[in-house]
Amino acid sequence: MTRQIKLGAFLPGGGQHVAAWRHPDQPADGATNFEFHKQLALTAERGLFDAYFLADGLAVSFGGGTEGGNAKVAGFEPVTLFSALAPLTKHLGFIATASTSYEEPYNTARKFASLDLISGGRASWNVVTTASEAAARNFNFAEQPPHATRYRRAREHVEVVKKLWDSFEDDAFIRDKESGVFYDTDKMHFADHAGEHFKVNGPLNVPRSPQGHPVIVQAGQSEDGRSLAAATAEVIFTAHQRLDTAQEFYRDIKSRAAAEGRNPDHVLIMPGVSPFVGRTEEEAQEKYERLTSYILEEDGIALLNGLTGGTLDLTGHDLDGPLPPAPPTEGNKSRQVLLRQIADENGFTIRQLYQWVASARGHYTIIGTAGQIADMLQEWFENEAADGFNILPPWLPTSLDDFVDLVIPELQRRGLFRTAYEGRTLRENLGLPIPVNGYAAGRRVAQAAE
């Protein structure tokens, strides 16, 4: 089969751009409006997107680093939201972000396994560590654990969750009314996990779905993040401003995955792209400038502060001067480096920098016609920079509609994108294999039932 582009859609109801909610088209209450999320899901499914992707945070984001800025001060927990959207859709996958830092793996495993069953195999977990002092203070900590500790916990968390997802073999349930045998106890397995952060006996009380496991997504860019991603991720969300850095990342992850004994084709690299689509270049530029005009100075400053880990104090700085230096923090390290790179390479002032990152917080922003945008996606896709893309429409629903109505048909004309869903599950659409049950395959030692 011809290799085709895979597409995720980041559709926070409050909009992606820091000032999206001020746009006349955008429902100002979108972040907490279920009917609006339903509309977005149906549009994404009409556009044949592989999945609806949502970020998440475990605190109100005062730093402004969150999509949508203040419009995202409150919203839905993603798994709860996606579960409500699942029966209203048929093919769309759901990638929910959930932190490994402040949740127990049994609870994580359960909610994703439940969503996966309810949706008939369309669930996916975007595994993150939470880099936020505010979140730490919501979970009994005075300050957040160090970066390296968070990543060790993340790796162990994923390991436990995967063990739990294999608690029942696919043919464990006999359900023979005549004999009264409901399940085969030999096909139920105990995780019996005891590690640095977790002791979890199992089994999980949810069976596997038609896709085996929810698809594992990750976005780490740091050394710790790349290592975790290469070991466990099936889809990698990544932020790049240039083809060459995207290629470097793509090749690095594929070779790391191979070194882990994995098939590199089963690790899909999907950079983020924020498109301003116009019928002409001028129209696209006007859309960009109009949205930019809605940014308040204090929101722009909060955005930069939030993205750089909350330590970049811009008070008293000339917004039309250069970005001052700041020490690295225990927060999202790669994002701090990326912002600095964007400022340096473009010679941006503080104001120009926040205007540029306001739509996608460091992901690639492109302003142009459907043809120009398709050219860019095609170039990255055909040159070892991407297996697909996570599209971040700057405001909603208009930028999503624009992409679905203008860019998708162009990609289809070029044979780069599907014209109908290939399968029933997210894995089938992404071309990812169903994970073999580790116990059934004898790769994990089955514990005797007590």
Residue numbers belonging to the annotated binding site for FMN: 56, 97, 147, 151, 222
Using the rule CB under 8 A, is 43 a contact of a copy of itself? no
Q: Find the shortest distance in angstroms from Cβ 109 to a copy of itself.
A: 10
**Cβ atoms 447, 185 nearer than 8 A:** no
Binding residues: 56, 97, 147, 151, 222
Using the rule CB under 8 A, is 60 a contact of a copy of itself? yes
Using the rule CB under 8 A, give the single segment among 72-80, 282-290, 312-320, 403-411 that binds a copy of itself: 72-80
DSSP bridge partners of 274? 365
Q: Find the shortest distance in angstroms from Cβ 250 to a copy of itself.
A: 34
Using the rule CB under 8 A, is 101 a contact of a copy of itself? no
> Using the rule CB under 8 A, which residue among 46, 103, 227, 290 binds a copy of itself?
103
Using the rule CB under 8 A, is 180 a contact of a copy of itself? yes
DSSP assigned state of 414:
T
**Cβ atoms 134, 62 nearer than 8 A:** yes
> Using the rule CB under 8 A, which residue among 40, 71, 161, 338 binds a copy of itself?
71
Q: Pick the closer one to a copy of itself by CB: 76 or 250.
A: 76
Q: Pick the closer one to a copy of itself by CB: 160 or 370.
A: 160
Q: Which residues contact 7 (CB under 8 A, 6 or more apart)?
A: 47, 48, 49, 50, 388, 389, 390, 391, 417
For 92-122, give one letter per residue: b (16+ CB within 10 A) or e.
Answer: bbbbbbbbbbbbebbebbbbbbbbbbbbbbb
Q: CA-CA distance, 79 to 119, in Å (whole number)?
A: 11
CA proximity to 33, closest of 98, 84, 69, 87? 84
Q: Find the shortest distance in angstroms from Cβ 115 to a copy of itself.
A: 6
Which value, in Å, is the radius of gyration of the alpha carbons in the chain?
22
H helices, E strands: number in the chain? 15, 13
Give residues 7-36 in contact with a copy of itself (rule: CB under 8 A): 19, 21-22, 24, 28-29, 32, 34
The encoded tokens of residue 353 equal 């920098």
> Using the rule CB under 8 A, which residue among 42, 46, 59, 245 binds a copy of itself?
59
Q: Find the shortest distance in angstroms from Cβ 443 to a copy of itself.
A: 22
Cβ–Cβ contacts within 10 Å for residue 304, how many? 23
> Using the rule CB under 8 A, which residue among 52, 53, 276, 294 binds a copy of itself?
294
Using the rule CB under 8 A, is 314 a contact of a copy of itself? no
**Cβ atoms 314, 349 nearer than 8 A:** no
Using the rule CB under 8 A, is 81 a contact of a copy of itself? yes
> Using the rule CB under 8 A, which residue among 8, 47, 57, 264 binds a copy of itself?
57
Give residues 322-341 in contact with a copy of itself (rule: CB under 8 A): none
Q: Pick the closer one to a copy of itself by CB: 51 or 407.
A: 51
Tell me the one-letter amino acid at 340. R
> Using the rule CB under 8 A, which residue among 16, 39, 83, 332 binds a copy of itself?
83
Using the rule CB under 8 A, give the single segment among 98-106, 148-156, 349-357, 431-439 that binds a copy of itself: 98-106
**Cβ atoms 357, 339 nearer than 8 A:** yes
Using the rule CB under 8 A, is 3 a contact of a copy of itself? no
Q: CA-CA distance, 137 to 294, in Å (whole number)?
A: 32
> Using the rule CB under 8 A, which residue among 39, 70, 97, 365 binds a copy of itself?
70
Q: Pick the closer one to a copy of itself by CB: 197 or 418.
A: 197
Number of residues engaging a copy of itself in binding (CB under 8 A): 76
Q: CA-CA distance, 176 to 171, in Å (whole number)?
A: 13
Using the rule CB under 8 A, is 207 a contact of a copy of itself? yes
The encoded tokens of residue 201 equal 């006996």
Direct distance between the N- and C-terminal alpha carbons of the chain, in angstroms, rounded to an integer: 48
Using the rule CB under 8 A, is 296 a contact of a copy of itself? yes
Using the rule CB under 8 A, is 217 a contact of a copy of itself? no
Q: Find the shortest distance in angstroms from Cβ 58 to a copy of itself.
A: 7
Q: Which residues contact 344 (CB under 8 A, 6 or more apart)?
A: none
Q: Find the shortest distance in angstroms from Cβ 79 to a copy of itself.
A: 6
**Cβ atoms 52, 85 nearer than 8 A:** yes
Using the rule CB under 8 A, is 293 a contact of a copy of itself? no
**Cβ atoms 411, 274 nearer than 8 A:** no
Q: Pick the closer one to a copy of itself by CB: 61 or 429.
A: 61
CA proximity to 319, closest of 288, 296, 346? 296
Q: CA-CA distance, 279 to 117, in Å (whole number)?
A: 41
CA 209 to chain CA centroid, Å, is: 21
Using the rule CB under 8 A, is 447 a contact of a copy of itself? no
Using the rule CB under 8 A, give the single segment among 83-91, 325-333, 397-405, 422-430 that binds a copy of itself: 83-91
**Cβ atoms 54, 14 nearer than 8 A:** no
